[in-house]
Amino acid sequence: MARRPATTQPSTRKELKDTLWRAADKLRGSMSAAQYKDVVLGLIFLKYVSDAFNERRGQITEELRADGYDDEAVAETLEDRDEYASGAFWVDPDARWGALVAEAKVTGATTIGQRINEAMDLLMRDNPSLEGTLPRLFNRDNVDQRRLAELLDLLNSVQFSGMGAAKARDLLGEVYEYFLANFALSEGHRGGEFYTPASVVRVIVEVLQPRKGRVYDPCCGSGGMFVQAEKFLDAHDADPTNLSVYGQELNESTWRMAKMNLAIHGLNGDLGPRWGDTFAMPYHPDRQMDYVMANPPFNIKDWNRNESDPRWVYGVPPAKNANYAWMQHIISKLAPDGMAGVVMANGSMTSTSNGEGDIRAQFVENDLVAAMVALPDKLFRSTGIPACLWFFAKDKGAGRGGSVDRRGQVLFIDAREMGYMITRAQRGLKAEEIQRIADTFHAWRGMEQLSLATADVTVDDEADVSAAGIEYEDVPGLCKSVSISEIKDAGYALTPGRYVGMAGAEEDAEPLDEKIARLTNELNEQFAGSSRLQDEVVSQLERLQ
């Protein structure tokens, strides 16, 4: 079979996704889905790194030739690692994609799987940020080397160069998200176990506005929360080093993916020495965080529970559901001015089983809940479970993250009617909807309101919808500021729909007497039409007699 030539044009999102599933088809049946996920995504990462290296190599060549360097000097400079210190990983000649593809179909003592393992070793050796990160499973007994060679040939058509470094990084991240979300869907895993929808991440980031300090995610998945925080800083021309990233992840391959994601985006994150259980062995135990952003897996029944854990300040979470364990862990990590945004299943807002209602009451009475946001359905690709957002704040007083004193109050936002259908099964949020949620919270707290100018947003009508200077007011059907005493009277239920009420009907501009006259004329015309139709039916029946 002839080798598939590499394209010269950057791949579109659709092309990449189609290629990705064809790649997975090459391996299905020869290994478990969990393994081929790591094989395919590992190769996609290797292709991205090689493309980025080659693009930087081309730029260096153009710069040198413009400065009058001859061919020999250009060739020598191109192999100087210092030239690639910014904008690309160094890729050893033996680890470059072209070299691997050239040897993919060559039979001999060294298999293509062994060559790919060696390439991964070289990348980790030459780039400290990748140390201990990349997969090395390509030469295992259950990896069909013939299919692996065909997979390299297929991925040779994928092209990450030619679109700019930022867009290439974002495209790689979208590929990971698409693949793992579909993997979770096909394998029946719980929603939230792999990826949070981009629009939900943006709501959390835009509400919290993480601009300086420590950011933490105790179940960080592939690191999407951190990446979006970095994009927020970039969109507002802030220094990305203003944020220090901390995280933890239980799944080994997802932890490695998070490390890769942070390395690609130039984030020096501390995700712990290895993957690990946040409940059994929490990393960063002595660090308090300025921001926590998390999407814990919903409703975990089998978790590492210790009744005497000091994190259970507000009550011991039930053995068969970890939702309130996650929230108490997150609260325990907050600094005195800290804020958190957490994705949770809707049941967390009203559940009274196994002491959850009592813990929720303690959250409210201790004034930890800043806001509750009800989300529209179908946002998550891999689950139909409705979700909501909890926003916690250690101190809601004036000057503690906002200019308005909101102690003793909770903001409720009902966003269930927002969104648009991306496919028949999945919904997304528009940029202006994300901004409306964020602006509502910012106005309520008296925070500076920034526009959603994030360069990578791929939703409709991406306009500057900043609402700087808007004063907060309750909007029926959308938002309401509610006192703790009122929440107590409602049994500590935190469902926004209970408090915000119904949206007001649009005011009718037509004068009442004119409206009555118009409707009377329309009704008379309908009666006359009905009478004519009745006469015609009788006439036709008489002809049949």
Q: Is 189-500 the same fold as 13-183?
A: no
Q: How would you write the pLDDT of the chain (545 residues) with one tens digit per residue? A: 444 444 456 667 677 777 776 766 666 666 666 677 788 888 888 998 998 898 888 888 999 999 898 989 988 888 888 888 766 789 999 999 999 998 887 767 789 999 999 999 999 999 988 888 898 989 988 888 888 888 888 888 888 877 666 777 777 777 776 666 666 555 544 434 446 888 999 999 999 999 899 999 999 988 889 988 988 888 887 887 889 999 999 988 888 888 888 888 878 789 999 999 999 999 999 899 999 999 998 899 999 999 999 999 999 999 999 999 999 999 999 999 999 999 999 999 999 999 999 999 999 999 999 999 999 998 887 667 789 999 999 999 998 778 999 999 999 999 999 999 988 888 899 999 999 999 999 999 998 876 544 333 333 333 333 344 578 999 999 999 999 999 999 999 999 999 998 765 555 567 777 778 888 888 888 888 777 777 777 777 777 66
> Could you give the C-alpha distances from 300 to 249, 274, 304, 324, 373, in angstroms and in order?
15, 22, 10, 10, 22
Residues 6+ apart with CB under 8 A from 339: 208, 290, 291, 292, 370, 391, 392, 393, 394, 401
Residues 6+ apart with CB under 8 A from 246: 214, 215, 216, 217, 269, 270, 271, 283, 284, 287, 289
Tokens of 396: 């809601």
Query: Is the Cβ–Cβ distance between 27 and 144 less than 8 Å?
Result: yes
Q: What pLDDT was estimated at residue 382?
A: 63
Q: What pLDDT was estimated at residue 359?
A: 98
Task: Report how far Cα 375 is from the mean position of its chain's Cα atoms.
Answer: 15
Q: What pLDDT was estimated at residue 288?
A: 96
Distance CA(28)–CA(17), nearest Å, equals: 17
In angstroms and rounded to an integer, the radius of gyration of the C-alpha atoms of the chain is: 28
Residue 82: helix, strand or coil by DSSP? helix
Nearest one of 358, 444, 374, 362 to 407, comparing CA atoms:
444
The residue whose two tokens read 């300090």 is 213
Nearest one of 496, 495, 484 to 361, comparing CA atoms:
484
Distance CA(400)–CA(24), nearest Å, equals: 50
189-500, superfamily in CATH?
Vaccinia Virus protein VP39 (3.40.50.150)
Distance CA(524)–CA(500), nearest Å, equals: 41
210, 214, 220, 222 alpha-carbon torsion, rounded to 10°: 70
Distance CA(157)–CA(429), nearest Å, equals: 32
Topology of the domain covering 13-183:
Ferritin (1.20.1260)
Domain ranges in the chain are 13-183, 189-500, 511-539
Q: What pLDDT was estimated at residue 192?
A: 40
Give, in degrees to the nearest 5, the angle at Cα 435 between 235 and 293. 70
Residues 6+ apart with CB under 8 A from 40: 20, 23, 24, 27, 151, 179
Distance CA(41)–CA(44), nearest Å, equals: 5
Amino acid symbol at 334? L
368: left (phi over 0), alpha (psi -120 to 50) or beta: alpha
Q: What pLDDT was estimated at residue 234?
A: 82
Tokens of 327: 């929230």
What's the number of CA atoms in the CB half-sphere (13 Å) around residue 503?
Answer: 9
Backbone angles phi, psi at 340, to 5 degrees: -140, 145
Residue 154: helix, strand or coil by DSSP? helix
Q: What is the pTM of this model?
A: 0.80
Q: What pLDDT was estimated at residue 479?
A: 97
How many separate helices (H) and strands (E) can be counted in the chain?
Answer: 16, 10
Q: What pLDDT was estimated at residue 465?
A: 35
Nearest one of 127, 221, 158 to 15, comparing CA atoms:
158
Number of other residues whose CB lies within 10 A of the CB of residue 277: 12
Number of other residues whose CB lies within 10 A of the CB of residue 47: 22
Query: Is the Cβ–Cβ distance between 137 and 39 less than 8 Å?
Result: yes
DSSP state of 506: P
Distance CA(65)–CA(78), nearest Å, equals: 12
Length of the chain, in residues: 545
Nearest one of 297, 296, 221 to 260, comparing CA atoms:
221
